[in-house]
Amino acid sequence: MNQHLPIVASLKLLPDAFHTDVITRVINHLMRGQDIAERLDYLEGKRICLSVSDTGNHFHIRVGKRRLLRCSSHAPWDVRISGKLKDFWRLANRSEDPDTLFFNRVLELEGDTDAALYLKNLLDAVEFDFDQHLQAVAGSRLAPHVRSVIERSTLLQRAQKLVQT
């Protein structure tokens, strides 16, 4: 957990609402050009709580209009995912299969059974398409040039290493 020390300090010092805003903005950005956004329709209006047990944080997110939005921490959640920071990190960077994390109860799902199962299956099926994302963000005319610059730099290799750790 030493490698996550700056993250842990941030989680303890800054309010959960700040982190929820960061999480939702990053995920919404990464969903651009991905089919996962369209698959969020089933979860429309659902409130999801991410509870990080070892830091005491609770991030309250609502699904709306194919996006994730911060919602009030006082609103009741429909689905809650609980676990330790390192296990959420393993889920986020795909170093561990989501099924393994959930079935071994490393990450726990509770609440609306149908929505929780749908969310787990959605997380399990995520396949990030970098080129589709780049095209959605930069546009079809600029994307090939941006891709070329990235390939010539070490940014892509650094990003891939970050995702694998």
CB neighbour list of residue 153: distance below 8 Å, 6 or more residues apart: none
Q: Binning pLDDT at 50, 70 and 90, where does residue 156 land?
A: low
Let me know if domain 2-127 sits in CATH 3.40.50.880. Answer: no
> 53-98, pLDDT tens digit by residue?
999 999 999 999 999 999 988 889 999 999 999 999 898 888 888 8
Q: Which class for 20: exposed (0-12), middle (13-18), buried (19 or more C-beta within 10 A)?
A: buried
pLDDT reported for residue 42: 94
pTM over 0.85: no
Smallest Cα–Cα separation from 98: which of 68, 125, 130, 69? 125
Q: What is the dihedral of CA 24, 68, 135, 35, to 10 degrees?
A: 130
- CA gap 115, 45 in Å, rounded: 11
Map out the domains of the chain as residue ranges.
2-127, 129-165
Determine the pLDDT at residue 10. Answer: 84
- Strands (E) located in the chain: 47-52, 57-64, 67-70, 79-83, 108-111
Cα within 13 Å of Cα(33), Cβ side:
16
Q: How confident is the model at residue 3 (pLDDT cuts 50, 70, 90)?
A: low
For 92-111, give one letter per residue: b (16+ CB within 10 A) or e. eeeebebeebbeeebbebeb
Residues 96-152 pLDDT 10s: 888 899 889 999 999 999 999 999 888 888 888 888 999 999 999 998 988 888 777
- pLDDT value for 135: 92
148 or 28: whose pLDDT is higher?
A: 28
The DSSP output letter for 43 is G
